[in-house]
Structure 1
Amino acid sequence: MVQQGFGQTNKAHYEKTPTGVKVSFKNSDTSIDQDVYLDVVTDKIVRVTAVPAGAAFPKQTSLVVVDSLHRQLKSLAVKSTDSTVNVQTAAIQAIVSLKTGKVDFFDSNGQVIVKEAKRNSSSFTANSYNGDAFYHINQDFIVNPEEGIYGLGQHQNAVMNYNRGKQVSLLQYNTEIGIPFLLSTNNYGLLWHNYSITKAGDVRPLLPLNALKLSSKEGEEGWLTATYVNRNNINEVYLSRPESIIDYGYLSDQHKFPKEVKLADTKVIYEGSLASPYAGKHVLHFKYSGYMKVWIDGELVADRWRQSWNAGTFELEKEMGKDQSHKIRMEWIPDGSESYFTLNWQSPVPETRKNLFSFNSEAGDAVDYYFIHGSSMDDVIAGYRKLSGKAPIMPLWSFGFWQSRERYKTQEEIEQVATEFRRRKIPIDNIVQDWSYWSEHDWGGQKFDLKRFPDPKAMVQKLHDQHLNIMISAWPKINEESTVYNEFKNNKWIYPRNIYDGRKDWIGKGYTSTFYDPFNQGARDGFWKLLDKNLFKIGIDAWWMDASEPDIHSNIDLDERKSVFQPSIGSSVRYYNAFPLQNAKGIYEGQRATDPNKRVFILTRSFFAGQQRYAAAAWSGDIASRWHDMKDQIAGGVNFSMSGTPYWTMDAGGFLVENRFHKPNATDLEEWRELNSRWYQYGAFLPLFRAHGQFPYREPYNIAPDGHPAYKSMTYVINLRYKLLAYNYSLAAKTFFEDYSMIRALAMDFPKDKNGFDSNDQYLWGPSLLVNPVTEKGATSRKMHFPKGIDWYDLYSGKKVQGGQDLLVDAPYERIPVYVKAGAILPIGPVLQYTTEKKQDILDLYVYDGADGHFSLYEDEGNNYNYEKGKYSRIDFNYDNTTKTLSLRERRGDFDGMLTKREFNIIFVSDKNVVGLDVPSKRSTAVSYTGKAVQIKLK
């Protein structure tokens, strides 16, 4: 041990450990009492753990970091100066101040990557819950104001770059996914090693409305005027009252509404003005259900809708001068007799916090995080997956089209839909059985109701005979009257509180119910045995893990949720966000043990760090069928992908539907068709392409008739999805073998183009395609940012656009704007009715002039794990732009059923050959390929 002294009251000690260093502070004038540990995992990964002085180092087994983690170090050196102790690897330096305990990270050239802010008295605040003692944890990081910060899960605020004074709640909730991993354009990541509810970014508490200076519509100071009127006759006023706090966020707040008013009949109009004691950017945070419109200074700035059982959120930014008054008007039409509306705000970020990004967690034993450095953002994600596990290759069929509905109520319904798809020759690979296929009382039994599904095994076989897979909804919820309740109760495999509270669900007469405890190994095994016995053994192919937050009840407040959710391994406060991780673990491990060679597929509404290793994909929950909701998914999906968790999708068409679309007039019907067309177009360029939602039915032929532009559009993109199968499946392999991310922010591939850092309405699909979904009603053009340094080609026409500019591009009804990067090598296959209909022995290879390019075509057996044993093949394509030469390299690897001979039809796209998917080429080169290297000169 070495002691560093700074006078009698400034003492810091450090000692080397086998993998790093421990630095201790006690009775220091310049630091809180703390022990700081640096544990080097690889040359690019360092774990930092800080605990109050003398406290034990956290030793519980991590739920996130994989057990099989092996250290890989080229070099490790610990050196000291008078004021620091330096831990140096081949790639990074982590320098601990012996005065303050703060840790700074530098690259091998001495350039700053990121720094901690000094820990203080707020870093560890003792607390407890249900007999579990812990600390409320806070850590600030000093970041570069120019860097882009991404990840942190999936959120519905349309924010792409979180380095803009934003607050992000890492909290599992329907439509919200909290993943405590941050990814920076400065080529580092932070895995915040904590399972509790966490705030990230600007973590200052949100302020209530009355922290602003309010004035009523009559000019009286201190409140806004809230006028409750008849929603069908706004001239009929029920009452008017002052309101200075708007806080109706949960069921427990409903008593705050005027007792003499029926919300289901009411429209509430808030009027007045507000002023702030601060100057700068203010952020208004809304939680709402029903219809919500907001005007500020006469400008309509929000027009939203959400059903009451699933309240939504949005944010509004407003630059405000100190003490400047701004008129505000809000019109709120509640959704039914129970509805929700809160309004809080963030003040401008003070100078002292301008360059801080923070993590603030409800419960933990330590400030605990992994710092990950890389040569690129992809390299950082590779480090994250080294810690938390690789994402397996999903089965080949999952890259086809999926049809779902809430819900197919009978065996006859689901069989009819399958038959109709095949009759119409609309390609499809997967059909989905949503909830309530069980008998009404038997939620949790995981068995079909034989009155409505008389022969489930025969039904599954019939679907398989039609080359369809079937995924089924398997809730982690168990009704008290179910056939399995007593077994789970007697084994202590459930959370009993909700039963004792008598809280009922919404099925039939209403049943008391609860959730099983996936933190208990016995409960996980018991749950899988139910799925295996009743569903897997009859041929079910994939699992839809709904309500995996767990969603005990959507609108009870957090304290109630915590009291109901009590994991066997510790308190709900400590483990709040980890339920979906453990839920997926049980299914994945159960199926792989039962059938080791059939690929697991899990679709889950909630997700946590590390869950990608359990063959889990996420969807964005019960979003609404509105244009603004479609746009919100873009940033949500991209940031989810940049959380190191690659498989993501959403309900194409949205889930929750306004009444006006149920029995639409002619105008609303055409909007419904256009909305779905645009949503299908977007969904075709995601890891999973699935349509799902409530009534109206979501099958393409139920949305629009043959010949309608909507029908043509939807069937076009479904067919295009299958033409891109070779490209998409190769991306999946790249995701596993190279820890790639299929959905990509512009910043990932163009980190020097800062104009793309905040782009929240376009993204890259793989290395080649730039996608810009149309999210406005009636739009036939889109503003599109073309990253600089490369040219781009229209996918459909082949027309070239120079990078480094923003342009208004065509977006006709039947096409989503998609551009291909110069240098891309894009394989396009034949039209298929399902992914395994035939071998892709003929592929068009589109080669785009203007830059060197590479693509690796990957193939394997498609539905087993032989690829883990090396049974797969690759064909590498390289394009040399200088010599205009395409090289087909010698094939590597083999597997059962591999094509030994095939044909590539080479299409060179350039200024002289302007061709695309909708403009067939008259100039191409056919190449017979037998696995030997070939070179082709392109003209």
Structure 2
Amino acid sequence: MITTLIATRMTAQSIEQTKQGVQFSAQNLDVKIEFYSNNIVRVYKTPQGVSYNKKSLSVVKLPENTTVSFEQKGNTTVLKSNSIQVDVNPVTGGISFYDNSGKLLLKDKDYGTQFSALDDAGMPSYTIRAGFLLDKEEPVYGVGQIMDNKFNRRNSSHHMQNENMSTYSPYFMSVKGYGVFWDNYSISDFNDNPQELSFQGIGHCSDYYFMYGKNADGVIAQVRDLTGKAPMLPLWAYGFFQSKERYTTQDESLDVLKKYRALKVPLDVIIQDWRYWPEFHKTDSLWNSQSFDKERFPNPKKWADEIHKLNAKLLIVTWPGFGPKTEQRKEFDSKNMIIKFDTWPPKSGARPYDVYNPEALDIYWRYLNKGIFSYIGNDGWWLDSTEPDHINKKDSDFLLPTHLGTYRSVKNAFSMMHNKGIATNQRLTNDNKRVVILTRSGFIGQQRYGSNTWSGDVASSWEMLEKQIPAALNYTLMGIPNWNSDIGGFFAGRWKKDGGNNNPEFQELYVRWMQFGTFCPMMRSHGTDLPREIWNFGERGSWCFDAQEKAINLRYKLLPYIYSTSWDVSHNNGTFMRPLIMDFANDSKTHEIGNEYLFGRSLLVAPVTQYKARNWQVYLPQGSDWYNFWTNEYYKGGQSVATETAIDKVPLYVKAGSIIPFGPEVQFSTEKKWDNLEIRIYPGADGEFLLYEDENDNYNYEKGIYSTITFKWNDKEKKLTIEDREGRFPSMLKSRKFKIAIANRNDVIADSSPKSGKLISYNGKKIVVKF
């Protein structure tokens, strides 16, 4: 390491200049500042004279070669890349971050980092607090999935302990275009008040990353650069999922799939919930044995094969806890790889394995692979209770040892590590099948593992539906793109006394939740107390059945748009659920709006969250003009619009300049080729869309085996250019037809379908279509 000693003019303090940063001591702290890139700066602090070698669970990036200039201004040392300026005061320990124009972004508060000695179950440790100074009215987002119906996280406090329905990471993003990730996995606290924003947790160092992206997209790109990209999920993962708590036999779930096929209602995935394993006289001592009960699942391989023959996929639930009579538990116990508190279900004696131990992750997969994956060939995993559930909590439980320290010091990373073990081992076992994981918790870095976090066992209520939206948006702003919820809410017992599935209010709640689910990264129906399959709400021709079918069919029509968005998420660090601040931060009204969002870069969704609401206020941000998706009515941005919302229509608007591909009507995602897509153009601005296609599963896209077609709309010339196709893959369409339809703002229609369009042939070579 190259070091240069820089003496300050007025004190005896000094700073050592390193290749891409500085190190110094101040306020009894040793501080290291290092540029990881032009846009990312790491700040690492330990008590003076107490070194600690931090190995991150989340961060995968190594420092890249970055040109950093150094300058001394009085007592201040100034470090600059081509994007960020960092001012350091070695007397107070204060650190200030600026953009390259000199605009102040954030202050690491003078005297703001504190270490208080802590005995962590016999291990010398610290309670650590890191404080920051923000502008008084500066909105920030992130922190986690929090069910408080708030979007802006200013002036709030949160105990960051990952549990069912609460998923946190010590991270925030500012509307000013920067983010901070405090790399700590302990049970922690976030607090923001007029004096400061702070994180407090336990550990041996204060370790954070300042990331500058200019805007929300840029910050998310830096988060992914730092902690890992999100891989592509297969096309089928964007279809419709059906499950319940629970299908008790292999025939029951197979019959559900057959009935969907008979009704011709689209479906791609069946999920098998808990207790498919032997119940051992119903004491649950064989809980999560990762094997099948011979009476209820006599031929699980044939069951999975039958599901596949019906062109559907199978997800199987597996838990982190094991009953005392399971072979897994016996091996984990013998190797001291069990965290010794009781997990779900109560009174079973089940306990979670130590996900922080790399060997334990491999052992877990060995059983899972032998008992399920390589045996029946399932297509994905439902990882329940990944916080995990904790029965009869005692304070002493949090002091229990894990491979990486006390449970409380690493608890919030449990889901990420559990997901890591399964995802990495599955890829090693079979690299031809993309990892798909449904999981109940998360942490920054988990996006690397093909994981989709759901919001937990939420109540079936209008209030809870409303809370889902800002919770999802803050979660996705942490750089973790995949999120979903139980359509209709998990616990629906409150509706039983009033007619259950025939209760009009529950039916309407379910329909509105399904409309929200249509515009989430995963569309999944699940719950307990009341069955959720579509026929339980009535027959075709009844309003509740028809409204659900309309939402499901719309989801499938949008698959070319959704799958192309998935490529944008994976390749360009994009985001599915885009809070309005991502695209319209200059419109200050968007800073507090957490009940509507863009799905992809074109569709503005404002889910209805109140009973019998047939008129819904939707804010259309300034900076674009808008079309009502259902009617083609045209609106200027910067206004609230009273939107008629029939029970079968979610308020949905399209940004002017959008180009949206619509696919065929299908019963499952890959039933028909995309050889006759409708390309719908919404004039009013120039626009561009990249249509992405590949083999729909496997990881060949990582080797460049995919194709893209770019569509460009010139609004002034009313001209659509379809560029040369880029790339190729073996099953690629060599020629196809596109129906080009223009949304006419003067042609108000009764539904979303345009009246006419130009049919053109395309063979991969550039075409210009004029209107």
TM-score tier after normalising by the smaller chain length? over 0.9
| Cross-structure match for 1:55 | 50
Q: Which residue of structure 2 lines up, in the alignment, with residue 542 of structure 1? A: 380
Cα deviation code 1:862-899 (max 9, x no counterpart): 11000000001100111111211111111100011011
Q: 1:758 and 1:741 mapped to 2: Cα distance?
A: 19
Q: In the alignment, which residue of structure 2 is the partner of 1:241? A: none
Q: Separation in 1 of the partners of 2:344 and 2:92? A: 53
* Cα 1:667/1:52, change in 2 over 3 Å: closer
**2:25–2:31 Cα contact (<8 Å) kept:** yes
Map 1:203-214 onto structure 2 (within 5 A). Answer: none
Q: Distance in 2 between matches of 1:834 and 1:757?
A: 38
Where does residue 316 of structure 2 map in the other structure?
472
Q: What one-letter code is carried by the residue in structure 1 that aligns with 2:146?
A: H
| Residue in 2 that maps onto 1:398 | 237
Matched-pair contact (CA < 8 Å) for 2:502–2:537:
no
Which aligned segments of 4 or more residues in structure 1 are displaced greater than 6 angstroms?
Answer: none
Q: What stretches of structure 1 of length at least 5 have no aligned partner?
A: 26-31, 203-348
1:140-186 alpha-carbon deviations (Å, 9 max, x no partner): 211123332111221111111112x0112322100000122211111
Letter in 1 for 2:405: G
Give 1:283's aligned residue.
none
TM-aligned CA deviation for residue 604 of structure 1: 0.7
Q: How does 1:551-570 map to 2 (within 5 A)?
A: 551-553=389-391, 556=393, 559-564=395-400, 566-570=401-405
Range moving further from structure 2, 618-627 or 774-783 = 774-783
Confirm or deny: 8 A CA contact 1:129 1:573 kept in the other structure: no
Distance 1:885 1:147, change over 3 A: farther
Q: Which residue of 2 aligns with 1:11?
A: 12
Hey, what does 2:125 align to over in structure 1?
A: 134
- The answer (yes or no) to whether the contact 2:39–2:212 under 8 Å persists in 1 is yes
The answer on 1:511 being equivalent to 2:506 is no
Find the aligned partners of 1:44 and 1:588 in 2 and give their Cα distance. Answer: 29
Q: Does 1:384 align with 2:243?
A: no
SS at match of 1:393: coil
Given that 1:673 and 1:704 are in contact with CA atoms closer than 8 Å, whether structure 2 keeps it comes out as no
| 1:580 aligned residue | 415
Deviation at 1:449, TM superposition (A): 0.8
Give the Å deviation of 1:929: 0.8
Tell me what 1:814 maps to.
648
1:39 CA displacement: 0.7
Q: Name the CA shift for 1:750/1:539 in 2 (closer, same or farther; >3 Å).
A: same
Query: 2:321, 2:343 within 8 Å by CA — same for their partners in 1?
Result: no
Q: Does 1:169 align with 2:159?
A: yes
TM-superposed CA distance for 1:663, in Å, is 4.2
Query: Is 2:344–2:350's contact at 8 Å kept on the other side of the alignment?
Result: yes
Residue of structure 2 in register with 1:344 after alignment: none
Q: How does 1:345-360 map to 2 (within 5 A)?
A: 349=193, 353=195, 356-360=196-200
Match of residue 448, structure 2, among 591, 606, 613: 613
Are residues 157 and 420 of structure 1, via their aligned partners in 2, closer, same or farther at CA, if it must alter by over 3 Å? Answer: same
Gapped runs of 5+ residues in structure 2? 280-284
1:40 matched to 2:32: no
Residue 369 (str. 1) matches residue 205 (str. 2): no
| Equivalences for residues 93-112 of structure 1 within 5 A | 93-112=85-104
1:309 alignment counterpart: none
1:5 to partner: Cα distance: 5.0
Give deviations 1:220-249, integer Å, cap 9, x for gaps: xxxxxxxxxxxxxxxxxxxxxxxxxxxxxx
Corresponding position of 1:149: 140
Q: Between 784-793 and 667-676, report the one with greater CA deviation.
A: 667-676
Retained in 1: the 8 A contact 2:172–2:181? yes
Aligned partner of 1:422 among 233, 252, 261: 261
* DSSP 3-state at the match of 1:119: strand
Q: Distance in 2 between matches of 1:665 and 1:862?
A: 42
If the length of structure 2 is used for normalisation, what is the TM-score? 0.96
> Is 1:23 the equivalent of 2:24?
yes
Cα displacement (A) at 1:568: 1.3
Alpha-carbon distance, 1:704 to partner: 2.8
Q: Is the Cα contact below 8 Å between 2:278 and 2:286 reproduced in 1?
A: yes
Following superposition, the deviation at residue 506 of structure 1 comes to 4.2
Q: Does 1:86 align with 2:78?
A: yes
1:483 aligned to 311, 315, 327, which one?
A: 327
Check whether the contact 2:706–2:729 (CA below 8 A) recurs between aligned residues: yes
Residue-by-residue CA offset, 1:685-717 (whole Å, 9 max, x unaligned): 010000000021011111233222111110001
CA displacement, residues 453-496 of structure 1 (integer Å, 9 cap, x when unaligned): 1111100000000001000110011111223322221122212x
What's the secondary structure of 2:230's corresponding residue?
A: coil
2:357 is the counterpart of 1:520: yes
Alpha-carbon offset, residue 807 of structure 1: 2.0
- Asked if structure 2 preserves the Cα contact closer than 8 Å seen for 1:475 and 1:545, the reply is yes
Residues in 2 aligned to 1:761 and 1:194: alpha-carbon distance in whole angstroms: 30
CA displacement at 1:411 relative to structure 2: 1.1
Matched AA of 1:932:
K
- Native 8 Å contact 2:248 2:276 kept in 1: yes
What SS does the aligned partner of 1:423 have?
helix
* Residue type at the aligned position of 2:716: T
Please name the residue that 1:342 is paired with: none
Q: Distance in 2 between matches of 1:187 and 1:920?
A: 38
Deviation per residue, 1:329-379 (Å, 9 max, x gap): xxxxxxxxxxxxxxxxxxxx5x5x1xx221122x12222100000132111
> Structure 2 CA distance, aligned partners of 1:802 and 1:700?
38
Q: CA deviation at 1:571?
A: 1.5
Question: Rg larger in 1 or in 2?
Answer: 1
- Is structure 2 residue 629 aligned with structure 1 residue 795? yes
Deviation at 1:815, TM superposition (A): 0.7
Q: Which residue of 2 aligns with 1:449?
A: 293
By how many angstroms is 1:3 displaced? 5.0
Residues in 2 aligned to 1:672 and 1:744: alpha-carbon distance in whole angstroms: 28
TM-score, length-normalised on structure 1? 0.79
- Distance (Å, rounded) in 2 between the aligned partners of 1:735 and 1:745: 15
Amino acid at match of 2:59: V
Report the residue type matching 2:116 in the other structure. T
Alpha-carbon separation, structure 1, partners of 2:260 and 2:6? 75
The answer as to 2:488 corresponding to 1:653 is yes
CA contact (8 A) 1:514 1:552 kept: no
Letter in 2 for 1:576: K
For the 8 Å contact 2:493–2:529, the answer to whether it is kept is no
Alpha-carbon spacing, 1:427–1:18, altered in 2? closer, same or farther (3 Å)? same
> What SS does the aligned partner of 1:715 have?
helix
Indicate which of 511, 534, 537 corresponds to 1:677: 511
SS in 2 for 1:635: helix
In the superposition, relative to structure 1, how do residues 504 and 783 fare at CA in structure 2: closer, same or farther (>3 Å)? closer
CA–CA distance in 2 between the matches of 1:647 and 1:72?
A: 32
Contact 1:824 1:854 in 2 (8 A): yes
Aligned match of 2:282: none
Number of the residue aligned with 1:866 = 700
User: Structure 1 pair 505/872, CA: closer, same or farther in 2 (3 Å)?
Assistant: closer
SS at the partner of 1:123?
strand
Alpha-carbon separation, structure 2, partners of 1:935 and 1:475: 54
Contact conserved, 2:657 with 2:682, CA < 8 A, in 1?
Answer: yes
Distance in 2 separating the partners of 1:666 and 1:127: 53
1:534-587 deviation line (CA, Å, top 9, x unaligned):
11011111011100112122x625x244145x3112122221211111101100
Distance 1:874 1:505 in 2: 46
Would the alpha carbon gap of residues 881 and 201 (structure 1) be closer, same or farther in structure 2, given more than 3 Å must change?
Answer: farther
Q: Distance in 1 between matches of 2:107 and 2:188?
A: 20
Change (3 A) 1:200 1:133: same
How big is each residue's C-alpha offset from its partner over 1:760-789, in whole Å with a ceiling of 9 and x where there is no partner?
211110110110111101111111111012
Equivalent residues, number: 762
1:187 aligned residue (147, 157, 177): 177
Query: Structure 1 pair 513/921, CA: closer, same or farther in 2 (3 Å)?
Result: closer
* Percent identity over paired residues: 37
Asked whether the 8 Å contact 2:89–2:95 carries over to 1, the reply is yes
What is the deviation of 1:6? 6.4
Distance 1:615 1:16 in 2: 40
